[in-house]
Structure 1
Amino acid sequence: MKNHGISQLSTIRETLNQQIDSGLFSTRSKLPSERELSDIFETSRITIKDALVALETEGKIYREERRGWFVAPEKRLRYNPLSRSHFHKMVAEQKRCAETQLLSVYSAPAGIELMQTMALDTFTKVHHVHRLRYLDKRPVLYVENCLIAEHFPDILEQDLTRSLTELYKNRYQHDTSRSQFEVLPTAAKGIVAKKLNLAEGQLVLKIRRVNYNQHGVIIDCEYEHWRHDAVMICIDSASNI
């Protein structure tokens, strides 16, 4: 493949980008395999991989472990961590489809990290709720909620696929009025990688949020792991009401 002064990688990236923009590949359609693209462009699979990763970084495509590369939706989900809106409401407002799958629930004494993060005493009982959230049938968010058990009697008997924010407020009179959060790009590992269809070590966006009720008491901590290609962080302080 002749590049006439333009890098081969840039040429491949731009060619694929134009084909996606023209509609040749529709949203969620699968691209040819890396080996097929290598033959088409008469170049190495390493160069093809670099071009695909560049398009992934731009949000044009995404990959799934053992399945290949796919065309990403035109728009990412807009997510304002300061907002009190829950996942299903946020998705519906953007005219998308949301689903939640409950993966596991268990109770255990708080470990060192939670003791420090949530200012807990030794052996404080914490409920751990693990859920997988889907956007238009695609898993995009793995979330673990760590609830201080004494604040939520019998909560494990409730429907935990629904909004926990609403459950806290309507059943337990805990209105989330303040949150502290940290955002950190990190590597997907273990169950997070598996459930989000990622290879071990692929990038995810991790958000840790500590929630306080209307009395200034810490009630839970969330660990969100987002597919970075599916979400756009948009901060709007006016939504923090």
Structure 2
Amino acid sequence: MFIRFPLNLEKVSAKKVSEFIREQLEEAIILKELLSEEQLPSERELAEIFNASRITVREALSQLESKGLIEKRVGAKGGTFILPVTANSHKRTRAEIKRDWEQMLKVFEYRTIIEPEGAYLAAERITAGELELLQSYLDKSMEPECTREWFRALDVKFHLTIAKASGNPYCEAAVRQIRTKINPALDLMPYDEEIRAVNYGIHSEILTALKARDREQSREIMRRHIGNSGEAIYARLVAKG
């Protein structure tokens, strides 16, 4: 029996090593795993980490610098430093978000499938240590000195911790992918005491459901939270524009 071609196969795409390095570092920055003012390892150290040449690493860093994600500084305290993503969010304009809104909608559809189910699983599998972590993120988000950048980082940590607590590595990987896509839009959202209070309230509801091991409630509150987030982004960045 012969297979009829063409099947739905992707063409070979030769990705440059520098692009591979750039993608990993950019994801870590967007997901706030590398925070503002943290210093990256030297080019030599990065070359060893990625098993690549220093020229290749330098090319990847140059791409990140052009996006306003890192900054090279000279002098005694020189090096390559992470820039605050929210401070450079103007590089991702409302026009860009609006232009790509149809694609963003697909990401939100995917999110409404993945994250609520992740919360459902986490309610059964989450550890005491992970519950303590979530509570610490909530507490830190309401501290007076919590900056916009740190607030956004805590939000990401909260969601990624729940995804990890699901005990399903595919779910965790999916949430990382989703947050990488939507964080640039979230970084354009306003930041004030009201925003902090609303975020604290809904995250507290999710945490309470997780502590109670209530799977259905955890899933439902997460679904509501995600829906509200998508509507807020649309109202602020698309409709208002």
Q: Which TM-score applies when normalising by structure 2?
A: 0.30
Q: Which has the higher helix share?
A: 2
Q: Which has the higher contact order (CA 8 A, sep 6+)?
A: 2
- Bigger CA radius of gyration: 1
Q: Which has the higher strand share?
A: 1
